[in-house]
């Protein structure tokens, strides 16, 4: 798998991904992916993480296994995904048809000063594929984001991991609520569950 070179606008990618999200539940990895999803607009089914680094994809797996008919989308960054890289294999073992993990890969830790991340040398889509994710994509064109959006908001044949190469610029932060209890109550209510 050769690494794509074009870099996309992260906000445009996430906006397109979630444009027709329907019933989908979206879990965001701490830092810029949380701001990117918030920039599209607040939503009852957004689960904003402000910490728990490495937990985004596997938290989304827990939701996906509980709601097999509802699309679940994890939107995270390369640094957060690297910290939970074993989640690829954990997800592959369960093979949920309703889970898509979108890794926004800018090759750096933007929140902490722009230090290079390991994705400079490590190919995350290839790692996902080698971990047993049959549908592992490397994306560097908006046309492929369109295709991804259709996959992520519907049920597929198994889990999908998409590594989207994005620009390195740090954008204006759009800060959603940091109140995890409120998020929990809202998501559960939107699913017709009790808040506690």
Partner 1 sequence: MNALHPQALHASPAGWPGDIFSALKAARVRQVAYVPDGGHAELIRAVHADPAMVAIPLTTEEEGVALVSGAWLGGDRACLLMQSSGVGNCINMLSLVRNMGGPFLTFVTMRGEWGEFNPWQVPMGTGTPDAFRLMGVHVLRADRPEEVGPATAAGIRMAYEGGSAVAVLLAQQLIGAKVFVK
**Nearest distance from C-beta of residue 60 to partner 1, angstroms:** 6
Nearer to partner 1, 130 or 191 (CB): 191
> What region does 71 belong to: left with phi over 0, alpha with psi -120 to 50, or beta?
beta
- Residue 188 in contact with partner 1, rule: CB under 8 A: yes
Helix (H, G, I), strand (E, B) or coil at 139: strand
171: phi then psi, degrees, rounded to nearest 5: -100, 170
The CA distance from 159 to 132, in Å, is 10
- Residue 4 in contact with partner 1, rule: CB under 8 A: no
Nearest to 76 by CA among 59, 94, 93: 59
Q: Which part of the chain contacts partner 1 (CB under 8 A), choosing from 9-17, 82-90, 135-143, 154-162? A: 82-90
- Residue 81 in contact with partner 1, rule: CB under 8 A: no
Q: Which of 94, 115, 157, 189 binds partner 1 (CB under 8 A)?
A: 94
- Residue 19 in contact with partner 1, rule: CB under 8 A: no
Nearer to partner 1, 119 or 131 (CB): 131
Letters for 23-52 (x = contact with partner 1 by CB under 8 A, - = none) are --x-x-------------------x-xxxx
- Residue 108 in contact with partner 1, rule: CB under 8 A: no
- Cβ(101)–Cβ(82) below 8 Å: no
- Residue 62 in contact with partner 1, rule: CB under 8 A: yes
The CA distance from 47 to 126, in Å, is 27
Nearest to 1 by CA among 139, 166, 160: 139
């Amino acid at each position: 798998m050769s690494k794509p070179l074009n870099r996309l606008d992260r906000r445009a990618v996430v906006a397109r991904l979630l444009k027709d999200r329907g019933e989908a539940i979206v879990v965001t990895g701490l830092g810029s992916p949380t701001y990117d999803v918030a920039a599209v607009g607040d939503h009852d089914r957004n689960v904003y993480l402000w910490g728990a680094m490495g937990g985004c994809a596997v938290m989304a797996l827990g939701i996906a296994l509980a709601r097999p008919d509802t699309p679940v989308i994890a939107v995270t960054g390369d640094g957060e995904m690297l910290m939970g890289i074993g989640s690829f294999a954990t997800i592959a073992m369960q093979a949920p048809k309703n889970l898509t993990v979108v890794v926004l890969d800018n090759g750096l830790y933007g929140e902490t000063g722009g230090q290079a991340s390991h994705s400079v040398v490590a190919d995350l889509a290839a790692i996902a594929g080698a971990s047993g994710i049959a549908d592992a994509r490397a994306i560097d064109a908006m046309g492929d984001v369109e295709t991804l959006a259709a996959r992520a908001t519907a049920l597929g044949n198994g889990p999908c991991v998409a590594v989207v190469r994005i620009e390195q610029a740090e954008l204006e932060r759009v800060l959603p609520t940091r109140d995890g209890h409120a998020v929990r109550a809202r998501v559960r209510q939107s699913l017709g569950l009790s808040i506690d």
